[in-house]
Amino acid sequence: MMNESNTMQAIRYHAYGGPEQLVLERVPRPELKPGTVLVRVKAAGVNPWDWKLRTGAYRQFMPIDFPYTPGIELAGVIEEIGPEVSGFGRGQAVYGSASGTNAEYAVAPASSLAPKPAALTFDQAAAVPVGATTAWRALFDAAGLQAGQRLLIQGAAGGVGSFGVQLARWRGAHVIGTASAKNLDFVRSLGAEEVIDYQATPVERAVRDVDVVLDTVGGDVGERSLQVLRPGGILVTIAGQPSEEKAQARGVRAAGVGPSDPARTGELLRQIGDLIDSGQIKVQITNVFPLAEAGQAHALSQSGHGRGRIVLHVAD
């Protein structure tokens, strides 16, 4: 029998489609499993993954069971701790990755959580996990970015790009970013030394001999980006599958960023949290929606023209 003590409000959709498919419903709370904790969600980030999954873009290789609750990152307070979990306590403020975070409660692997940075609100913290860890894995794991190297970030104002600019500057790289005219000053404020209005100037005409390109945009942007790399440079994309054949023809490399490892997410978030608390990284939120307006949040993310991050505020 469902009652207030064992149920919660959650966003769900019952079929693939547009943002109008998202509805707020009362559903059973998720159950703990070994190695997991139950988090009372304060805020949840909104990512392109969420709406691409909802539209059915991934159905061929990742079909989902309906009804489905979206959301892959959160910030909140630990409500219960499952078996085989150590290092966390009830009532602790945390942030990290989980499934079904567009809800009042979510079950998360303990290994994918870290203590919430003290400098951040819950809304701000919910905007960090996916974007920051993706940027870290792309720049440092896939590209091996080093101090003194020249880096071009395609889409530097976005959720991953904005963290990429800051992480690269912390590492000591020279950062060039592309953005629309309205976001040029924003990208400069993150630490980019050069910013290019991609709507006014084709980047391949403005940039040469970079060591690394991070493509967060996809489409033909990645292929065009191969032209700006120095011999032996590397293109890393988070938006599609790069053409290794075309890269080799130009004497450069191309790589994607594989699925995140939940067992490593918490470790990365602890390092990123230290950078946040020391003032090295700032979190940029531009839009906060209440949970019931998840459809509007998805629609904004799907438009592809925002800056910083989009967040659902779930509870005070």
pLDDT tens-place string over residues 157-212 = 999 999 999 999 999 999 999 999 999 999 999 999 999 999 998 999 999 999 99
Average pLDDT value for residue range 213-222:
92
Q: Reply yes or no on whether the pLDDT at 5 is more than 80.
A: no
Examine residue 2 and state whether it is found in any structural domain, yes or no: no
Both 175 and 124 in a single domain?
no
Select the more confidently predicted residue: 244 or 123.
123
Q: What is the pLDDT of residue 284?
A: 86
Both 101 and 142 in a single domain?
no
With 0-12 / 13-18 / 19 or more C-beta atoms within 10 angstroms meaning exposed / middle / buried, residue 84 is exposed
- What rounded mean pLDDT belongs to the chain? 94
* Single pTM value for the model: 0.94
Cβ(43)–Cβ(314) below 8 Å: yes
Both 110 and 138 in a single domain?
no
Examine residue 13 and state whether it is found in any structural domain, yes or no: yes
Average pLDDT value for residue range 62-75:
96
Examine residue 267 and state whether it is found in any structural domain, yes or no: no
Query: Residue 159: left if φ>0, alpha if ψ -120 to 50, beta else—which one?
Result: alpha
Both 240 and 298 in a single domain?
no
From the CB of residue 260, how many other CB atoms can be counted at a distance below 10 Å?
17
The residue from 220, 239, 256 where one domain ends is 256
Cβ(129)–Cβ(198) below 8 Å: no
Examine residue 160 and state whether it is found in any structural domain, yes or no: yes
Both 56 and 17 in a single domain?
yes
* Domain that residue 105 falls in: 7-128+283-313
Q: What is the pLDDT of residue 161?
A: 95
Q: What is the pLDDT of residue 303?
A: 85
Confidence band, pLDDT 50/70/90 cuts, at residue 1: low
pLDDT in tens, 26-56: 999 999 999 999 999 999 999 999 999 999 9
CA within 13 Å, CB half, 131: 34
CA dist 207 and 263 (Å) reads 38
pLDDT in tens, 71-96: 999 999 999 999 999 999 999 999 99
The residue from 215, 241, 256 where one domain ends is 256
Q: What is the pLDDT of residue 258?
A: 78
Examine residue 305 and state whether it is found in any structural domain, yes or no: yes
Rg (CA), the chain: 20
Both 36 and 64 in a single domain?
yes
182 Cβ contact partners less than 8 Å away, ≥ 6 residues apart: none
Both 143 and 252 in a single domain?
yes
Give me the CATH number covering residue 236.
Answer: 3.40.50.720
Q: Reply yes or no on whether the pLDDT at 259 is more than 80.
A: no
pLDDT in tens, 98-117: 999 999 999 999 999 999 99
Both 99 and 55 in a single domain?
yes
pLDDT in tens, 113-172: 999 999 999 999 999 999 999 999 999 999 999 999 999 999 999 999 999 999 999 999
Both 78 and 174 in a single domain?
no
**Count of domains forming the chain:** 2
- How far, CA to CA in Å, does 283 sit from each of 127, 164, 185, 190? 7, 12, 16, 10
Confidence band, pLDDT 50/70/90 cuts, at residue 260: confident
CA dist 101 and 265 (Å) reads 16
pLDDT in tens, 291-314: 999 999 999 998 876 677 899 999
Q: What is the pLDDT of residue 3?
A: 62
Both 211 and 226 in a single domain?
yes
Examine residue 278 and state whether it is found in any structural domain, yes or no: no
Q: Which tokens belong to 57?
A: 């873009």
Examine residue 263 and state whether it is found in any structural domain, yes or no: no
Average pLDDT value for residue range 217-241:
92
Confidence band, pLDDT 50/70/90 cuts, at residue 2: low
Q: Reply yes or no on whether the pLDDT at 10 is more than 90.
A: yes
Both 99 and 27 in a single domain?
yes
Examine residue 245 and state whether it is found in any structural domain, yes or no: yes
